[in-house]
Amino acid sequence: MQQAQQGQPSYSLLVNQLAALLEGQRDFVTNQSQFAALIFHSLTDISWAGFYWSKENSHLNLGSYQGNIACAQIAIGEGVCGKVAQQKQAHLVSDVNQFDGHIACDLGSQSELVYPIIKNEQLLGVFDIDSYSLGRFNQADLEGIGSLIDIFMRSTDF
Ligand code: SME
């Protein structure tokens, strides 16, 4: 049995939980909804978790999420999500107030982790997690979320 540390479940435990949750189901809407709910309710100190999906290579549209209502559309290149989509590279932002162009969907948000979702070198969307705490996310979160996104990608038809 893997132990939780400081109230935080291990990512390897979450990987097993996600694989079991998505088993036998490949629907895009179903799986992204399950994914967002699992992350939001498993990680501590999270204020928002959800997807934005690329449309016409020009903007991102809000997908399934957990948390407060959020910005419906973000231009590629704008905000943390738009930058991640443009650069196809994950961003760890320990203080969103220091990030030039950060889009404050929720004024309480202080730190953020955004991970790109890429298939066949094409950007499909991003997964965004926010926290009301400064510096909430670290390299272990980035790698852990990456492993979870890998499972989501392999388990879902796009
Ligand atoms: N803060 C994000 C926008 C999305 S919300 O936080 C849910 C950004 O700067 O891209």
CA 102 to centroid of ligand 1, rounded, Å: 7
Q: Which of 82, 92, 45, 97 is nearest to 67 (CA)?
A: 45
Q: pLDDT per residue over 1-17, tens digit each?
A: 344 455 567 999 999 99
Mutation probe of ligand 1 site: the residue of 71, 96, 137 with most atoms within 8 A of C-beta: 71
91-107: average pLDDT: 94
Averaged pLDDT for residues 32-44? 97
**Residue 21 CB–ligand 1 contact under 6 Å:** no
The pLDDT, as a whole number, for residue 4 is: 46
The per-residue pLDDT for 74 is 98
CA distance 157 to 54: 16
Q: Which long-range contacts (CB under 8 A, 24 or more apart) does 152-155 make?
A: 152/18, 152/22, 152/31, 152/32, 152/35, 153/117, 153/119, 155/19, 155/22, 155/23, 155/25, 155/26, 155/31
pLDDT range class, residue 88, cuts 50, 70, 90: very high
Q: Is 80 in the pocket of ligand 1 (CB under 6 A)?
A: yes
32 has a pLDDT exceeding 90: yes
Mean pLDDT of 65-77: 97
In angstroms, the CA 157 to CA 25 distance is 9
Confidence (pLDDT) at 7: 55
pLDDT at 8: 66
Residue nearest to atom 7 of ligand 1 (CA): 70
Q: Give mean pLDDT, residues 132-148.
A: 97
* pTM given for the model: 0.94
Strand 73-75 with 91-93, pairing: unpaired
pLDDT of residue 149: 98
Three-state secondary structure string covering 24-57? CCCCHHHHHHHHHHHHHHHCCCCCEEEEEEEECC
